[in-house]
Each structure stands twice: as structure tokens, then as C-alpha cells.
Amino acid sequence: MLSEYKEVFLEELDEQLQLMDEVIMQLERDCESREVIQSLFRAAHTLKGSSAAMGFEEMKRLTHRMEHLLDLVRSKEKTVTPPLIDLLFRALDSLKLMKEDIVTQDCITVDVSACLQALERFGSEEAGGGVPVTAPSAEQDAGRTAYGTSAAAAAAASGFKWPELSLSIRLHMKNAIGQGLRLYWVSVRLSPDCFIQGARAYVIQTMLAEWGEVLLAAPDYESIGESGMETPELTYLYAGTQESSELAAMTANLADVAGADAEPVSPEEAEMDYRAHGDEEASPEPEREPVLVLVPPAAETAAAAESLIRQPASPPTAQQPAAAVKSKAQTIRVSVERLDDLMNLVGELVIDQTRIQQVARTQRRRFQDDSVGELGHIADHLSRIIGDLQESVMKARMLPIEQLMGRFPRMIRDLSRDLGKELELVMEGQDTELDRTLIEEIADPLIHLIRNAVDHGLELPEVRERAGKSRQGILRIKAAHEDNQVVIYVEDDGAGIDPAKMRSSAVGKGIISQEEADALGDREAIDLIFRPGFSTAQRVSDVSGRGVGMDIVASHIEKLNGMIDIRSELGRGTSFKIKLPLTLAIIVGLLVKCNGQTLIVPMSNIAEIVRVPAEEIRSVRGQPVVLIRNQVIPVADIRDRFGVSGTNDGRKHIPLVIIGSAEKRLALTVDELIGNQEIVIKSLGAYIGKVEGIAGATILGDGSVALILEVSSLFGKAAVR
């Protein structure tokens, strides 16, 4: 039960931390913006509430300090200074560490006392305006509590019992009475040991809405989670068919409810007040409900907002987030597993659909009949629908890459400060969507590339000046869709990669021999960066790592069926281009035939397909190669790989499928090109397990099983020769 709340809590924590990250960065740029300070304050406040509810005392204390400090900034007692920004970042980092602790071990072990002290010191020193802000947190807390209770007491003393009713709610009440429903004030007392009151309130409200209609909830569940409530009592205006005793009993039976009452609302109450309100704010003709027509929507919402303010239990700061949550209410959280299941089912459909298509084609060839034509039409329609369905399901799994890119500005800010570089970060295409699994998988390689660009790519400001460039380097991260693939660029306008240096360095490290180095063109020399154990950094900094960088990046991208390309110009900068498939489950594959067996090469691994005269395949030191657009590409025969013999028995032209995995290229000779098709990757199952060179299998239109080549493993094989 606890873990369920923990999940909710962690999700919220994640969101708020990300938000804080962004907001502090904004604050750094724009010190004066009140909105920015306000939203930061709100985030700290939210976290304070939920961490207290979850019993994470340390986190509560830290967020409380932050909140306090921000309050001072808000009230202009403090100004935003670089040390303050640094301190806020430091506190944020501590919060992140705490989050890690909570995720891994369910309790907080990280020591944040230093950070707490720093916050406290900062809060108390040089407090302008003559207000001594030395008050320790306990007093602050006490003050707040006192305020809360006295407000409640005042409300009670003034005879206040039920929340004020807005005009629109009164109209709803009238409607309900018109429908013959009974109106009740339902008051619910939550049991004192209830965790996350907001969540419980939500459940209660949902249940009530199932039994009847909830016209008003005070406090609204959306406003509770943040701070909890002093007196956990919920009030609902409810319309339904039940008797009051029945309703009270049903409500009291819900989990975490200590007690419940249902008090009937007299119809006159709605009527009378409605009239009073009508005089003030709306039409002079209250009898026939013309208000709906006459009152412009703005007035109605204003009335509703007013009623919100008057609700006693709702804390004043809660209104804005509540409104924000409301606008988000159109989305629901769905577990990834469900989406995966859905995707699998769609995969089955895609397979069947290709089969139906095939049957329809053969039928058409064989028979001339109206029904055959109809079958064709149905098959076409079906494939359109399945195509749409597939796209919708795929979209449901997609997230904007912003999820990932949002993390970069902070990281880059810290990096550039540590390394003494000045740079401008340009991010484009944050709304590019890709599969959520891919977003997770691509994070590490991307971060690596960025670190490399800042550390090795961009020069120090003085060096840049001497080279006649602006002091500030430009780091550009760009994402976009390019023919059904996602491409991500990481570009810098730094020093670029020197091919000559690459050659000598590779020889020095014993990665290649001197002759090999001499034979390399500039592009191939730059590609050396992807070789294991290669790093041109003069020193090993803790920023871009220990020379394990680029080859790991490359192999990671290979695993995702992607490609990485590097372009570099000496003195001008370096550009990495990562190409990824949109999704991992359904891919476009090229069907080829080899010795009568159909094989599939993932389209995302194919650089190009050519047909060359047989004599153009030459042999260099025993390795067959082909020259395509001035690039020497080794040639491999899939049949070798599959242990079947066969020759290109005197064919004049040979189809070549040029595959790329990361930066490598390889030309595969095949017997026949069949065409490309959308295919669903299926595993060979646990019994067979992982087979070298095979990424999986799929079912073709004719019902047969075809194997999918694992492109990256073919390279290993070719390199041995």
C-alpha cells in the first residue's frame, strides 16, 4: 500500500525537481521576474507538503528552508545574486540525492546538514529592511500553525458551516432538483493516520461521483496533497437518489474514512440564495434560468473563482497549481506495460494484414469474380485502418525529446563553469517525438557527446579570441524527423578534429599500424575516434571520462539499430549525427533472398542499395572491396555468414546492400532484392535464446518465418578476415 503512494510521490518529486531546474536557470538569466520566483516558491512549497506527508523529514526541512529563503526574495528583502543562485542549485542537488536515496533504499541517508546550514546562514545574514529574519524554522512553523487554527476558529465562530455557493453551482443545484435528485451536504472525516490525504480525497470524490453527482468539493482534492490539512475533513455538495442514512453509511465504509454525515439541503436554500446572487451579479429575471445565456462565461468563472477564495480550508497558494492541474486533467497515466501489450497486439494485426493482402493478391490473379474484388477492397481498407491504429499506438508511446533535452541546460551550465568555457546553448526540435524506451536509451550516449563537445570540442575563450572567433562558443543540439527516422545532431563550432593528430595518436596507442594509418583518408582517420581505447585528450579530465567514451557511444547506438556519423572540419567545429528508428518494436525491413531463404535487413541499418557490375568487386589483400563514391567498402557474402556455399556464378550485376552500424560500412552481396516491408520483431524465444547474427524473426505475408539480421554482429565477422 505504501509503495503505491511512494510511486505517486516520486512522480511528483520528479516533476517538481525538473521544474526547479528550469526555473532556477531562468532566474539566473532574469533576476527580477516575480513570476519565476513565484513558481520556484510554489515548487518548494509543494515538495515540502508532500515530503512531510510521506514522512521524509530531511527533505521537508530542506524544502522549508528553500521556501523561506524564496519568501524573502519574493518580499524583496533579498535580491537575486549569483551566490544565491548557486545556493539554490546546491539545495536542488541535495534534493536530487535524497530522491535517489528514496528510490534505492526507501529512506534518506545523505547528509544535507551543510546545505541546510548554508541556507539558514544565507537567509539570516544581511536581512535588509530592518526585519530580523533570525527566527529559526520552528518558530516559523509555529506561526503558520497558529494562523491556520485561528483562521479555522474564526470561521467556526462566525457560524460558518458550509462553503459559499457560486452562481453556477446554484444552477446545477436547481437542475438536480428538477431531475428529482436529492441534495446533500456530505461531510467526511478522514482518519488521522491517512497517508496522502489528497489521494484519498480523490478516491472519495470519485466514488461519490459514481453514486451520484458531486457539485462541489471543499477542499478540492487537487489542493490538498501539497500541505495536508490540519483538520482532515472534506465537504461535498452531492446530488443523488439515496436516502441520507444510506449515503452516510456508504461513505463511512470507504477506506481511511473515520466518519461521515449526509445532511439534506432544502431546495429553498438553493433558490433563495440564488435569487440574492442573481440580483447582484446576473440577470434581473431569475425565474426561468436565463442566466446561462446572459452571463458571459468570464463572469461565471469569476464567480466560481470567488467561491474558491472563500473556501476556508483551501490554502491561498493552492489556487494556481490547482488550476494548472485542472487543465492537465485531460491526460491519464498508463503503465508502459499496457502500452507494450497493446503494441504487441497491433504487431499481430500487422502480420495478419500483410497475409490478407497476399491472399487477396493471389485470389485476384486466379479468379475473376466480384467477390474477389471485394476481398481486395476490404483488404486495402483493413490495412489502412491497421496502419492508422499502429500509428496511434506508436504515438501513445512517444514522448517529446524535451523530456531528455530539458536536462541539458543545467548540465551544460555546470560543465562550462567547471571547465572555464563560455558557450551559448542552442536547442532545436525539442518537440520531436520518439519512443519512450528510445529516449531512455539515448540519454547516456547523448550526454557523453555533449560532454565531449564542451570539454574537447570547444576551446577556451582566450584561444577562441586568438583564432579570430567570438569568445562564446556555440553548442547546438537539434532533433528532427527525417523520413521516418529520428535524427539528433550535436554540433559545436570548436576546434574540430585534426586527422593528422588522429593518425599519429592511433599509431602511438597501437590501435593501428603506421601503414594502415597512412592508407587512411581524412574521414576514416576521424572515424578512428570510435575505436575502443581511443582518446585524443591530452589529459584525462573527470568530465569526458577515461577514454572509454566514443566506442561505448557507438556500440550503444548500434544496439538501438541506429547509426552515428561524424563530420569535422579543423578549426570550424565538429558535428555528430545520430539516426534512430522511431520505435523498437516495428521496423521497416528490406527483404532479400539468399540461397532460397528470405532474410530481413533492418532498413535503419541500410546506408544504400546499389547494383554493381561483378568486376567492380575487387580484392585488396584478400578482402573483397568495392569502391562507391570514393569510399572503399569491404564486401561480405551473407552466405558465408550462414555457412552455406554459393558463388556469384557468373552474374553480370550483383545487388549490394550497404549496411552501416555506427560509423562502419559493409556491403552485403545478396541473390535477390525482394522489397521493403513493415515488420514486427519477434524474439526466437527463450528456448533458442540469443543467436549470434540474428536479431529476431518475423512472420511474412505467406505465413513463413524470416530471420532478421543483426547488422552490428556482421561487422565483427568481416573484421576478422
Partner 1 sequence: MTAQEQYVEFGIEREQYAIRIQDIHEIIKMQDITHIPGVMPYVKGVINLRGKIVPVLSLRDLFGMEEQPYTKQTRIVVVNHAVDTVGIIVDRVSKVTTFNDIQAPQGRFGGLDGRLFTGIGLTSGGLVGILQLEEVLLQD
Give the residues lining the site for partner 1 (CB under 8 A): 348, 351-352, 597, 641-643, 682-688, 691-694, 697, 699, 703-707
Catalytic residues: 45, 67, 452
Q: Which of 628, 608, 616 is nearest to 652 (CA)?
A: 616
Closest CB to partner 1 among residues 478, 641: 641
Sheet holding 597-602, edge to edge: 672-680, 586-594, 597-602, 705-709, 694-699
Cis peptide before 232 (omega within 30 of 0): no
Using CA atoms, how far residue 510 sits from 146, 481, 503, 514, in Å, is: 74, 40, 11, 9
- Alpha helices of 420-498 — where are they, by DSSP H? 436-452, 461-466
Closest CB to partner 1 among residues 362, 514: 362
State the number of CA atoms in the 13 A half-sphere of 478 facing the CB.
12
Q: Hey, what amino acid is at 512?
A: I
CA angle centred on 522, ends 520 and 526, rounded to 5°? 95
The rounded distance, in Å, linking the Cα atoms of 667 and 635 is 5
CB 50 within 8 A of CB 42: no
CB 135 within 8 A of CB 120: no
Query: CA quadruple 89, 94, 98, 104: dihedral positive or negative?
Result: positive
CA 179 to chain centre: 45
Q: In this structure, what DSSP letter does residue 682 have?
A: B
The rounded distance, in Å, linking the Cα atoms of 662 and 660 is 6
The partner residues of 182 in beta bridges, in order of sequence, read 240
CB 58 within 8 A of CB 98: yes
Q: Which of 281, 282, 301, 302 is nearest to 291 (CA)?
A: 282
**C-alpha cell read off for 625:** 572491396
SS3 241: coil
**Which residues are within 8 A (CB) of 393 and not within 5 positions of it... i.e. 6 or more apart?**
339, 342, 343, 346
CB 601 within 8 A of CB 668: yes
The rounded distance, in Å, linking the Cα atoms of 61 and 105 is 20
**Which residues are within 8 A (CB) of 49 and not within 5 positions of it... i.e. 6 or more apart?**
225, 226, 227, 228
| Run of H or E including 236 | strand 233-240
Query: Which DSSP string do the residues of 289-347 spell out, in sequence order?
Result: -THHHHS-HHHHHHHHHHHHHH-TTS-GGGHHHHHHHHHHTT-----HHHHHHHHHHHH
Phi, psi of 356 (to 5 degrees): -60, -45
**Which residues are within 8 A (CB) of 221 and not within 5 positions of it... i.e. 6 or more apart?**
198, 199, 201, 202, 204, 205
